[in-house]
């Protein structure tokens, strides 16, 4: 079901400029424990604004996990990254997980994708 849901998300969201979607390689199958997207600079709102606007529509989402080298518990142990990690930091700042339950109906995914499309369109129209 999660793979079906991911295929539906990818099909619908691939039409929206500025969103980076999960990639699956031929030799690896993703279980889609979570379906994560990244709001790139071309997307008209920030990740945090998208989360807020989805929540206003009754759709919960979650930020990507903070990169390990920035997590307080890791830093408290004295770990410091040996060099800058801009990719991890960008993903931590711009990524979010959409609802990913196996029990999502096609109509739920449609509603979520419609909301994201509307948020992207409304902002682009101004």
| Enclosing domain of residue 48 | 2-125
Q: What is the DSSP code string of 33-60?
A: SSEEEEE-TTSSS-HHHHHHHHHHTT--
Q: Which of 71, 62, 49 is nearest to 95 (CA)?
A: 62
pLDDT in tens, the chain (126 residues): 999 999 999 999 999 999 999 998 999 999 999 999 999 999 999 999 999 999 999 999 999 998 888 888 888 888 888 888 999 999 999 999 999 999 999 999 999 999 999 999 965 444
Alpha carbon distance 82, 77 (integer Å): 15
Identify which of 95, 22, 48 has the alpha carbon closest to the alpha carbon of residue 11.
22
Nearest to 113 by CA among 41, 61, 42: 61
Position 69 scores a pLDDT of 83
pTM of the complete model beyond 0.85:
yes
Give how many domains the chain has, as a whole number.
Answer: 1
| Predicted local confidence at residue 73, as pLDDT | 87
Q: What is the pLDDT of residue 62?
A: 97
Among candidate residues 13, 3, 60, the one with its CA nearest the CA of residue 40: 13
Q: CATH number for the domain including 39?
A: 3.90.1150.10
């Amino acid at each position: 079901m999660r793979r079906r849901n991911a295929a539906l998300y990818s099909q619908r969201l691939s039409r929206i400029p500025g969103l980076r979607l999960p990639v699956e390689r031929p030799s690896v199958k993703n279980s889609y424990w979570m379906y994560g997207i990244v709001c790139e600079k071309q997307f008209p709102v920030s990740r945090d604004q998208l989360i807020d606007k989805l929540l206003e529509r009754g759709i919960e989402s979650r930020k990507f996990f903070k990169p390990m080298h920035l997590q307080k518990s890791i830093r408290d142990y004295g770990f410091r990254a040996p060099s800058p990690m801009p990719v991890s930091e960008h993903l931590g700042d711009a990524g979010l997980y959409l609802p990913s339950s196996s029990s999502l109906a096609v109509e739920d995914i449609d509603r979520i994708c419609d909301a994201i499309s509307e948020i992207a369109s409304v902002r682009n129209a101004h």
